[in-house]
Amino acid sequence: MITKTPKNKRQQKQGMLDNVMRQFNHAADIIGLNANIRKILEVTNNELVVHFPVRMDNGEVEVFTGYRVQHNNALGPYKGGLRYHPTVDIDAARALAMWMTWKTSLAGLPYGGAKGGIQLLPSKYSQSELERITRRFTYALGDNIGPELDIPAPDVNTNPQVMAWILDTYMSTKSPNERSKNMHVVTGKPLGVGGSEGRDRATGYGVFLSIRFWAENKKVDLKGKKFIVQGFGNVGYWTAYFLEKEGAILTAVQDAFGSIYNEDGISVEKLLEYSQANKGSILGFADAQAIENKDFFGLDCDICVPAALGNQITAENASSIKAYLIAEGANGPTDVEAEKILLKKGIDIIPDILCNSGGVIGSYYEWLQNRNGEIWHLEEVMEKLEKKLRGSFSKVLKTSKERGVDMRSAAFIIAIERLEQAYEQRGIFP
């Protein structure tokens, strides 16, 4: 069932939703956002919650809960990832959908924002169970997603294989004549089924580029700089890969299983090989020592890359942070109270809606190729991505200087102003 969020004041729980609303309201206050447009943007357009049964390998039936929240589509079809994690709930989906709206707007893409997923712990299920769960979820979403309506992509614990199952299920529900027109219903697909070169690394490459643009601006040489990464999945790994290639040194990693540290450096490729052979866990890697999770963010380093979940840097650990740059690979990793502490300490933060926007930009290129029947080379994708991201980064720096605000506020201002203009020009139906 699709339900409209009440347009009156929405209850705000502490958590990611509270953070994104505070970030939005702060920027909206600075620009004096039109009060009517503020009313529209502070709520989500549509919220879909589905409960669906799936037969497990042992013959038992389990019922799952899936979400898809469509925040805004004033600039184009809804766009955003699907997350498989126990923390997925309606508020998480709302918050992440809102961040997608600001991200696609800031990047100048013809997209709105959405997010969703299933509340589950994927490691509890076999591959064939995950396939049936994904297919049944896709079926339950039905025509609430679509290549010109709402286009999912990978997020935490989902990957190209999951996108291929979604594509196949969605296409199977269409008449044969319609099927090939629906390739762009999801992005982040494997190359064999319409995926794009470079989409696998697009988010991490974008995080790396953001750090490089920041370093260019500050006249900092990244060679020999020490960095730590929380999350060693798609975003964490590729960010570390490109930073290491630039001469920076990975000294600590934290994932869902624990934290490891080596002040002399951890080889990114060796750690990847190890974690792939160890069910995705970095724990036990021979060339580093295990440390307590609570000590991770306080480690001595130059750059900190949170690339896992939201609300990881909080008022509790912010004052212990020694890095002078935080590059937000994850969505919403720094809460509002922590950000105040960090900014006071003079720590720079490249905000998520800019820093990890390489992912949705890469998805846009995949979508365009599918839509136009084209196949681009890796170099072409990477060059286009770099050019686009450089443009966004410069705009954020310029706005930050002109308005005398931090980078997150600047990024939000640009994103909100683009939406404000769209609403002013379109008007409100009827």
- The SS3 call for residue 335 is coil
233 part of the interface to ligand NAD, by CB under 6 A: yes
Interface residue with ligand NAD, options 20, 231, 301, 412 (CB under 6 A): 231
309 part of the interface to ligand NAD, by CB under 6 A: yes
CB nearer ligand NAD, residue 33 or residue 92: 92
416 part of the interface to ligand NAD, by CB under 6 A: no
359 part of the interface to ligand NAD, by CB under 6 A: yes
Amino acid code (one letter) for 263: E
255 part of the interface to ligand NAD, by CB under 6 A: yes
- Judge whether 345 counts as a catalytic residue: no
- The SS3 call for residue 195 is coil
In the shown chain, the binding pattern of residues 163 to 202 toward ligand NAD, with x for contact by CB under 6 A and - for none, equals: ----------------------------------------
252 part of the interface to ligand NAD, by CB under 6 A: no
Beta-carbon contacts of 389 under 8 Å, excluding residues fewer than 6 positions away, are 206, 209, 210, 213, 357, 358, 361
DSSP-assigned letter for residue 324: S
356 annotated to bind ligand: no
Of residues 115, 225, 226, 388, which has the active-site annotation?
A: 115
Q: Are 82 and 116 in contact (CB under 8 A)?
A: yes
Least spacing, CB of residue 357 vs ligand NAD, in Å: 7
Strands, E, within 23-163: which ranges? 46-55, 61-72, 78-84, 113-118, 150-154
Distance CA 70, CA 141 (A): 12
79 annotated to bind ligand: yes
What are the structure tokens assigned to 262, written together? 């080596």
| Segment (H or E) for 272 | helix 268-277
Q: Are 204 and 170 in contact (CB under 8 A)?
A: no
116 part of the interface to ligand NAD, by CB under 6 A: no
Q: Would residue 54 be called left, alpha or beta, if left means φ above 0 and alpha means ψ between -120 and 50 degrees? A: beta
CB nearer ligand NAD, residue 93 or residue 342: 93
CB nearer ligand NAD, residue 50 or residue 95: 95
Number of residues that bind ligand NAD (CB under 6 A): 23
Interface residue with ligand NAD, options 131, 155, 302, 420 (CB under 6 A): 155
160 part of the interface to ligand NAD, by CB under 6 A: no
103 annotated to bind ligand: yes
157 part of the interface to ligand NAD, by CB under 6 A: yes
Q: Are 188 and 163 in contact (CB under 8 A)?
A: yes
Distance CA 367, CA 363 (A): 6
Q: Is 422 exposed, middle or buried (0-12, 13-18, 19+ CB in 10 A)?
A: middle
CB nearer ligand NAD, residue 170 or residue 297: 297
Known binding positions for substrate: 79, 103, 363
Query: What does the binding site for ligand NAD look like in residue numbers (CB under 6 A)?
Result: 154-157, 203, 230-236, 254-256, 307-309, 329-331, 356, 359
Residues forming the active site? 115
Tell me the binding residues for NAD(+): 203, 234
